[in-house]
């Protein structure tokens, strides 16, 4: 009899626990945010109901999609759960799996991770676009700098050519002319008070032809002084303002033209030396059939 009473008491306790569990109401766990095709939800002990956008879903709902149908559920946790065609899932189980960090099920899609991946992909794409824009801007700046440098080189070349022409004009103006009853004379445009600047008579021993003796320092001095602007132009072309260049040039003159140019002492700047050699070949001097070697220093400062 005593054992029977104990058994009845245990049965009542179990029944009460089961009744309490059954009385726990189902909760709303989400709502439909997008839908296409035929999609239904069925609660325990109830008939299936057709779903529409905005419809609430309960934890005891079983969601079923038809042929070609698709539904997106926005869960209360903030995650987004998607179901494809011809799928059937109990929403409470899906919520439990997602809360535990598991997969929502084969054939279904959880969009929370997908959105994170999309955001990362978008960020990577934006970073790539910014890098491409930065690289393009840097390349454009380099092209502009190269174009500006080329324009400056062209300007300096034009300036150098102009100075060479001006120097040749001055030398041509100062060249002696064999006029009747007048001895040839070279005018070097001496500034007042310059003891080194004098006019030099170029006497031809035979009377009217060019001299057959070597030229003197007085003969070549005017042309070399006039060429100083050419050396300065060479320095300006190859060096920044204020850069000084020094060299020693040896030339040979015959019949008023330079027949040989040699750098006795280089300046250390190959572009400057080449410019000087090229410009020196264009110098002109008084006529003399005898070869006249001349060596002289060059000092020039870039402007």
Q: What is the pLDDT of residues 195-248, one digit of tens each?
A: 444 333 333 333 344 556 778 878 888 888 888 888 999 999 988 999 999 999
Which of 5-9, 55-59, 200-204, 282-286 is the least confident region?
A: 200-204
Give the pLDDT score at 212: 63
> Would you say residue 174 has pLDDT above 90?
no
Map out the domains of the chain as residue ranges.
Answer: 27-113, 145-301
Give the pLDDT score at 16: 53
In terms of residues, how long is the chain?
303
Give the pLDDT score at 71: 94
What percent of the chain stands above pLDDT 70?
Answer: 70
Nearest to 286 by CA among 196, 222, 190, 205: 222
Rounded to an integer, the average pLDDT of 13-36 is 71
Angle at 168 between CA 162 and CA 173, to 5 degrees: 130
Average model confidence (pLDDT) across the chain: 78
Q: With a threshold of 0.85, does the pTM exceed it?
A: no
User: Which is higher by pLDDT, 185 or 258?
Assistant: 258
| 8 Å CB contact between 65 and 37 | yes
Beta bridge partners of 64: 40, 88
**CA distances from residue 203 to 97, 199, 278 in whole angstroms, order as listed:** 117, 13, 31
């Amino acid at each position: 009899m005593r054992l029977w009473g104990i058994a009845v008491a245990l049965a009542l306790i179990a029944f009460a626990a089961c009744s309490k569990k059954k009385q726990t109401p189902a909760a709303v766990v989400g709502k439909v945010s997008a839908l296409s095709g035929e999609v239904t939800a069925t609660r325990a002990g109830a008939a299936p109901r057709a779903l529409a956008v905005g419809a609430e879903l309960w934890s005891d709902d079983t969601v079923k999609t038809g042929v070609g149908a698709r539904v997106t559920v926005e869960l209360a946790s903030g995650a987004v759960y998607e179901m494809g065609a011809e799928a059937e899932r109990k929403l409470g189980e899906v919520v439990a799996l997602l809360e535990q960090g598991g997969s929502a099920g084969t054939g279904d899609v959880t969009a929370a991770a997908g959105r994170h991946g999309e955001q990362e992909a978008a960020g990577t794409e934006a970073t790539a676009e910014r890098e491409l824009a930065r690289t393009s801007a840097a390349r454009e700046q380099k092209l502009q700098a190269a174009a500006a440098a080329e324009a400056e080189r062209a300007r300096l070349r034009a300036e150098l050519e102009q100075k060479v022409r001006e120097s040749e004009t001055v030398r041509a103006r100062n060249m002696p002319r064999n006029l009747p009853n007048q001895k040839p004379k070279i005018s070097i445009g001496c500034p007042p008070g310059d003891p080194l600047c004098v006019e030099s008579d170029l006497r031809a021993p035979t009377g009217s032809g060019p001299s057959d003796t070597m030229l003197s320092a007085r003969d070549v001095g005017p042309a070399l002084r006039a060429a100083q602007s050419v050396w300065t132009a060479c320095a300006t072309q190859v060096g920044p303002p204020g850069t000084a260049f020094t060299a020693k040039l040896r030339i040979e003159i015959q019949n008023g033209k330079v027949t040989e140019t040699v750098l006795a002492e280089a300046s250390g700047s190959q572009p400057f030396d080449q410019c000087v050699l090229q410009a020196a070949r264009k110098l002109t001097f008084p006529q003399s059939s005898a070869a006249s070697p001349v060596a002289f220093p060059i000092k020039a400062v870039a402007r």
